[in-house]
Amino acid sequence: MNIAGNTILITGGGSGIGRALAEALHAKGNQVIIAGRRESVLDEVTAANPGMASMLLDIQDKADIEAFARQAVERFPNLDAVLNNAGIMKPEDIPAAKDPAIAEETIATNLLGPIRLTTALLPYLLKRPRATVLTVSSGLAFVPLALTPTYSATKAAIHSWSIGLREQLKNTSVEVIEIAPPYVQTELMGAERAADPAAMPLADFIAEVMTILETRPDAVEVIVERCKPLRHAEATGTFANIFAALNARHA
C-alpha cells in the first residue's frame, strides 16, 4: 500500500484506533473520510482536521451499508481504500445470559459489517488502478479472551476472511492488508482502559503501524512487536501459557 495519495474510507473513525489512524493518514496527505453513527463525534474530528470528510453509517444495518457505499463512491469517485475498523467489545457471561443479544450485536458489527461494506465497495475498487482493503482484527484472534468470547471469535473470523479474500483478489488490482492490534489504551471497553498501564499507548501503536506501512509496502499483515507473541503463540508452542496469563489478568 502506498502511504500517501489515497482516498481512504475509515469506519469507526470517530474515536480510538480509528480516529488515530485517520489523523495519521490524513497527515500523510491522503483524502480521509471517516464514518460512524455519531454525527457530533465525527464533526469534532473533522473540525480538528481541516480537509477530512465524514459520512454517517450504521454498520449494523445491511440496507444502510448498501446505500452508504453508493453515496460514498458518488461523493468520492477516487475512493481507492477502505479500512474496516468499526467494532464493539462487550463482556459476556454465557451461562447466565437469557439470550445471545450481545453476541448477535457483536457479530453484526465486527463481522457482518466489514463483509457487507467490502462486498458493496469491491465493484468500484476493482476498477481502480490500485486499491486496498484493510481489515482490523486483534491479537485476540489468535489467543482468545474468555471474558469477550464473541469479540474474540469475530476477530478470528476476520483474520480468516482476510486470508480468503486476499487469495481471491490476488490477480486483481486490490490488495488486502490485516492490522492486528494488541491490547491498546482506548475506551473500547470503558474509559478506565484508556489509562491502563498494561495496555500499549495508542500513540505508540499508531507510530509502529505507520512505520510498517511506510517501510513494508508489500506487507499483508501489520503486526506490531507487542502483538507478535499472540500472533505466533500456536507456532511457538506457547499458546497454553499465554492463554492462561491473558485470561488471569483480565478475569
Catalytic residues: 151
Q: What cell does 160 get?
A: 480468516
Classify residue 145 as left (phi > 0), alpha (psi -120 to 50) or beta. beta
What sign has the CA pseudo-torsion 35, 13, 15, 219?
Answer: positive
Q: 24, 7, 14, 19: which is closest to 214 by C-alpha?
A: 24
Dist. CA 42–CA 12, nearest whole Å? 9
Kindly provide the b/e burial profile for residues 3-23, where b requires at least 16 CB atoms within 10 angstroms of the residue's own CB. Answer: beebbbbbbbbbbbbbbbbbb
Dist. CA 225–CA 181, nearest whole Å? 10
DSSP-based three-state secondary structure for 31: strand
